[in-house]
Structure 1
Amino acid sequence: MREEEIIEKLQKLGLTKYESLAYITLLKLGPSKATDITKESGIPHTRVYDVLSSLHRKGFVDVMQGSPRLYKPVNPEVVLEKMKDEIVQDIESLKAAFLDLYREVHGEELPEIWTIQGFDNTLERAEYVIRSAKHEVLINTPFEFLNLLKKEIKGRKDVVFVIVSNFDDVPEWLNGDNIILARSGGAPWLMASWIIGDIDYALFFGALPQDKRREKFYSFWAKSPRIIQNYMHWFYTIYFDNSEVIKPLGYEELPKPLSLVNIRTLITVLKFAGLPRKAEIAGRMIDTKEPVTLDGDIVDYEYTPLTANVTFKYNGKELKVGGIGSYFEDVEGEKFILLD
């Protein structure tokens, strides 16, 4: 990375141009006198002491007392990790504050579905879905759009991907053990795209735009477990189940425990993993709504367009466990953790 790019990124983190120059100079020189920093960086002598004092307050520089006084750069990993933690905490605080502000004004929760305008904004939301997922990501989209998500997908080895696209060949970056790939039959419904992360976020849009219409492009963004659960059902029954699996999950190579939140994703994984499987299931009893956590073995499953459940051996008896919204089964499962 060029020095100009580093300075630009440091400025985004709150450093001034002179502070960025001084810190980079110290990384090059090691512990140095202010006059040496001025000579190497070009920072005016009248400004350098103020700049170094500010870097010290911000945690980028340690001051070594003596004659002459020396300035030492703090390890970049240490200072940047500290900044990252502080930024994440600030963002979480702001999210809570914004939600509270919205409730005060409108007396209700934020809407469950938003309209997103602009292709670039849609791409940013799709990347966010992948970055924020904790368990699984479901994607149905033309390869043209899937290829734009390459960096985000390659960066996530800790979630399960189920991806449907109009593949010709499988590119190397989609060969991870945590990825299931299915080739669509080229049906018109492939024109609709879904990117779903856990039951937290979902993005939906239609045909991809021509360049001249990128700013007039619209997509829909949902943040509602009730809605997203339906999206997941449609993803499997309309798209995945009508496609050809061309790359299975490398289940044995994946680290355990493996956590999932959708019953159809669980059963899809079990088709590759085989049965029985030791598991822990968190959810609620259908009859009493009492929260339960069950340890036992998944010994069977049922999977049709209308029903999806697993048979779970627990304390010498068998229970039927479905997903969120279940009412025929014994247990409404909210999280499924495969242990072996």
Structure 2
Amino acid sequence: MSTALSLEATRLLAMARETLQIEAEAVTALAGRLDERFADAVRCLLACTGRVVVTGMGKSGHIGRKLAATLASTGTPAMFVHPAEASHGDLGMITPADVVLGISNSGESDELSAILPLIKRMGVPLVAFTGRPDSTLARHADVVLDTAVAREACPHNLAPTASTTAQLALGDALAVALLDARGFKADDFARSHPGGSLGRKLLTHVSDVMRSGDDVPRVTTDVPLMGLMREMSAKGLGMSAVVDAAGQVLGIFTDGDLRRVIERTGNSTDLRALSAGDVMHPNPRTVRADALAVEAADLMEASRITSVLVVDDTGALVGALNSNDLMRAKVI
């Protein structure tokens, strides 16, 4: 039994490695064939004042949906239109301001071929991904990008495998070239992904997650230590800001500072005689309310602290936050 399983596993692994090798070779060959036509395709899409309409049947259509999504999330407005549905009304989604990107390994898909003359009649530029530069799709296209592969990874050389991998890789290359040409930055990406971790990191500001108003623990320098401890307990942040009469931050006092005060004074000092000004840590780390929340997280990590005070441009206290606030906002 174990020998049979071992032999089966050996064959499965061999098939997997051969598939990966064939597809890697297809992508490598594709990279070697890139020429000025790729730059023409990029320029064509950059000049588009409407949307890039991606279309394709079957497995090429699945690749097209992914490419449309990648383009849209990286600064190039795009959508997918199914070629069969286009013949039944969805062709109205395409406007003269658009560019059509057709994907077909054979270039002879009936559904796609049926709408090509209509696309050309509208005067809409057409970019083609095809494995046959002499195909119907290629003949109608303004720019043809050759996605031909030597063979499919399928042992029968039938199922689209290496060819769709080549289409996918070329689509990614096109999207990356476009985002670079547009000067698309990380914060632009974040605006397209507000629900993702990058979006939260680049779009969430300290003001979005900080405690404010009466939720911020604060005392003046003359408040007795016991009053300071009551403020800390009531607000539940494990610390309190120490401010002057105008609200300017003078210091901070934390649970850790309390332990250190007790260890330092022992029985030699009546703790009730101490004031907030006596025990505070002066010149604490602060952050602006308009800073990114991730900057506050970086400051806390670098300083090895778990909470930070938030100030305005005059140094007045406006809020506070701790690591739990950042975790709830999924910034860290």
Is the TM value for this pair above 0.5? no
Write 1 or 2 for the structure with the bigger share of helix. 2
TM-score by length of 2: 0.27
Write 1 or 2 for the structure with the bigger share of strand. 1
TM-score by length of 1: 0.26
Look at both structures and tell me which one has the larger radius of gyration over its CA atoms.
2
